[in-house]
Amino acid sequence: ILNVEQSPQSLHVQEGDSTNFTCSFPSSNFYALHWYRWETAKSPEALFVMTLNGDEKKKGRISATLNTKEGYSHLYIKGSQPEDSATYLCAFTTSGTYKYIFGTGTRLKVLA
Amino acid sequence: DVKVTQSSRYLVKRTGEKVFLECVQDMDHENMFWYRQDPGLGLRLIYFSYDVKMKEKGDIPEGYSVSREKKERFSLILESASTNQTSMYLCASSLRYEQYFGPGTRLTVT
C-alpha cells in the first residue's frame, strides 16, 4: 500500500515568520509530486507540479524542492502572512496512472 | 478559466435516503474523480472515470456508485445513506496529470 505522509499535522506561526513542511512518499515508480493549497470554503488550488529529482519551483513567497531518490519534498513559505492560512496538501502520482495518493495535509495558521 | 462545480455546498440527509452528488466540469476533461475527506485521513479516492460510461473503483468504493452519461458530468450516488458517510466530498477532473477540484459538498447524514 502506497503511503504519503506530511509533517507537521498543524502549525501556528506569527506573521512574518518563515516556515516549511515536509511530504514523504515512496521513491519507487515515481512520476510526479503535487502541492495544493486548500483554504476554507474554497477549492484546493494547485501550487506546484514537480517531476524531476532536484526540481525547485517558486511562486511568490512560496517555494518547493523535490528529492525523488529519498522520497521527500519540502514546501517553504517566506514571511508568512495571514492569507497564507490554509491546509497544504501534497499528492503523489506513479507512472502509468492518473490517480493521486494524498497526504493528510498540514494545517497552517498565521497569526497577525 | 478552469471550472469544476458541485451541485450543493451543504447537504443534510436522513439514514436510508438515496443521495445524488453532482459534479460538472467545463474543460472537456476525460478523467473525473470523487474523493471524500475526513479529519486525519486526507483525501481518499472513491471512484474515478476515464471516459463516458467508464468507471473504476478507488480505495473506498463500498456504499457508493457512480454515473457518467456525459463527458462533463460525473455523479456520485449513495444508494442508502448511512451516518458513516457523513463527510466532505470533493470532485476533480483532469486531462492528464493535473487535477482541478470543485469546492466540495459537506454531507451530513442523520
Q: Degrees (nearest 5) of the Cα angle B35, B71, B75?
A: 40
Pairwise CA distance, residues B55 & B48, whole Å? 6
For chain B, the first-to-last Cα distance in angstroms comes to 37
| B1 or B100, higher pLDDT | B100
Mean pLDDT calculated for residue range B77-106? 94
Residue B107 distance to chain A (closest CA, Å) = 14
DSSP state of A96: T
Predicted pLDDT at A1: 61
State the DSSP string of B14-28. -TT--EEEEEEESS-
Average pLDDT over chain B reads 93
Residue B87, pLDDT above cutoff 70: yes
Query: Which residues of B fall within a CB distance of 8 Å from A41?
Result: 103
Pairwise CA distance, residues A99 & B60, whole Å? 14
Name which of A83, A56, A82, A76 is nearest A67 in CA terms: A56
Residue B101 distance to chain A (closest CA, Å) = 6
Name which of B9, B12, B15, B29 is nearest B70 in CA terms: B29
Lowest mean pLDDT among A17-21, A97-101, B27-31: A97-101
- A112 contact B CB<8A: no
Q: H-type helices in chain B, by residue range?
A: none
Mean pLDDT calculated for residue range A30-52? 93
Amino acid symbol at A54: G
Phi, psi angles (nearest 5°) of residue A83 = -70, -10
Mean pLDDT calculated for residue range B33-59? 92
Predicted pLDDT at B2: 67
**List of residues 6+ apart from B85 with CB closer than 8 A:** B63, B78, B107, B109
State the DSSP string of A13-48. EETT--EEEEEE---TTEEEEEEEEE-TTS--EEEE
Mean pLDDT calculated for residue range B42-46? 92
Pairwise CA distance, residues B76 & B46, whole Å? 9
- pLDDT tens digit sequence for A56-95: 999 999 999 999 999 999 999 999 999 999 999 999 998 8
